[in-house]
Structure 1
């Protein structure tokens, strides 16, 4: 970032009272919100097409309300980058919902998180140079290892179902496409230094456009799409938290913290959706959740 932009960013933070701790708290808002959406959408019903469309419509409603109250400055670059970011998100979310068909809620959340963390951390550390001191690199890598170990523990197979291997391969392919979409959605906003308040409306328009295009042939215009507007409102709350956290604590820290919410989706899938309830699975899930929480706490120290 040019020196003038750095000075401007520091000035804005100081005038508005924003601190790294504020960024961490905002990222945790995203964690709670996003950790709930796969579980909530599953309870609301519908396939991945109606869930994706409903979520984007809810996000658009949220974005319009915020825009009317905030009225942020929105030059052409904000509209263009925000719109493209929304298109990337629609690809990511549609395929994350689709992976549930092969993997289940309790497994999709952790595996999706691990893949996204690898992508966003690569950009945050190697492209944006967000961990510059030796100590921040050591703590950051340790925290990332904790989160990934936790994700692996929560997604270990149970039982000897012969179809599990085939379903796992299909689910992983779908999640790879989902990961590309989610990483692109986050990195674009950070790359062009787009303000979070300004980004959400063009981003939501891009999300709705993308959702209509990729679900058009399935015509998901049903009651489940309407129900999942609630999912969109929950997602939007987390999205705003992440977008405001990005300039305060960076991509690597804010996005990684936002993903600790998989504890919610994992436990929700395990206990409320009746997915894998063996004693061994419960122990592995709880142990994995502890690793994820520990990783989230460590990430908070990379900006201290």
Structure 2
């Protein structure tokens, strides 16, 4: 029962996080209003959880959690921004692949998570799958003018996004901050970072209000992962949470009509499969 509950909670994270880019795109707005709305929803959710759970909150939790939230806002704003150049179907798998590579780098060289030769064999194989999957999703359709330029811009924005998302995760791990305690400081940092990054573009509009729902969806996934960790461990829960890219990808392909070529559709779907397989293998190395 404990195992099944943990798996269901991790899948809740996958469904929630996999829906974010797709849902925000359907709700409308640019990356600024989407970011403000998402952080607003996350802050509302965090306040509710804080008053319900009342975790211990030493100064280090507030400081690290706040900075972690600033990194997240950088990552999320630029992930939304990448959709303008790449579309949802490309942004979701490529962003996931880059995040897995980034977190793995810190896991191997900073946290020394790979201890055996088998860890390295499986881990490197996983990275090869992830890179191959990311490359497949980024292949341009022959004859489409301007796509190469958009791809370069989108990749640059995604690299900035990856720095933000990886910093958001690594900081909490580095200081061993409890997940329940981190939720509120993170949300405050997220809201602050979103405001600083977007206020010049006047993001406070009806689309920001709509995207409060996006923030609540994200926070639901975050809580699901936190609850899954003690039940099934970091490796399994993190790997399962990454499978949500299928939702954004399929949403972009079939509901947002971002692809017309069948060849491109199969490339992107195959790329997703490879990235998910790589994520699962990375989870195995952390056992």
Pair in the same fold by TM > 0.5: yes
Q: 1:84 to 1:220 in 2, by over 3 A?
A: same
Q: 1:84 to 1:207 in 2, by over 3 A?
A: same
1:179 aligns with 2:162: yes
- Greater Cα offset, 107-116 or 227-236: 107-116
Shift of 1:77: 0.4
Is there any run of 5+ residues in structure 1 with no aligned partner, and where? 1-16
1:42 aligns with 2:40: no
Distance 1:303 1:90 in 2: 27
- The residue correspondences of 1:14-53 to structure 2 (distance < 5 A) are 26-53=9-36
Shift of 1:302: 3.0
1:127 to 110, 113, 136: 110
Q: Tell me the alpha carbon deviations over residues 169-222 of structure 1, each in whole angstroms, 9 at most, x when there is no partner.
A: 111221111111111100000000001100000000010111111111111111
Distance 1:244 1:190 in 2: 16
1:147–1:292 CA contact under 8 A, matched in 2: yes
Shift of 1:238: 2.0
Q: Which residue is 1:8 aligned to?
A: none
Q: Tell me the alpha carbon deviations over residues 33-71 of structure 1, each in whole angstroms, 9 at most, x when there is no partner.
A: 211100010000000000000000100111111111111
Q: Which residue is 1:276 aligned to?
A: 259
Aligned-pair RMSD on alpha carbons?
Answer: 2.4
2:58 to 54, 57, 75: 75
Q: Which residue is 1:4 aligned to?
A: none
Distance 1:267 1:279 in 2: 13
Is there any run of 5+ residues in structure 2 with no aligned partner, and where? none
Q: Which residue is 2:68 aligned to?
A: 85
1:54–1:225 CA contact under 8 A, matched in 2: yes
Shift of 1:240: 2.6
SS in 1 for 2:214: helix
2:96 to 96, 100, 113: 113
Q: Tell me the alpha carbon deviations over residues 239-263 of structure 1, each in whole angstroms, 9 at most, x when there is no partner.
A: 234455678745x876555333222
1:24–1:249 CA contact under 8 A, matched in 2: no
Q: Which residue is 1:136 aligned to?
A: 119
Q: 1:117 to 1:298 in 2, by over 3 A?
A: closer
Report how many residues are paired.
Answer: 286
Shift of 1:152: 2.4
- The residue correspondences of 1:286-297 to structure 2 (distance < 5 A) are 286-297=269-280
Distance 2:42 2:139 in 1: 33
Q: 1:213 to 1:260 in 2, by over 3 A?
A: same
1:60 aligns with 2:43: yes
- The residue correspondences of 1:110-259 to structure 2 (distance < 5 A) are 110-243=93-226, 249-250=233-234, 255=238, 257-259=240-242
Shift of 1:274: 0.4
Q: 1:152 to 1:244 in 2, by over 3 A?
A: farther
Distance 1:114 1:289 in 2: 9
TM-score between the two structures when normalised by the length of structure 2: 0.90
Distance 2:98 2:277 in 1: 19
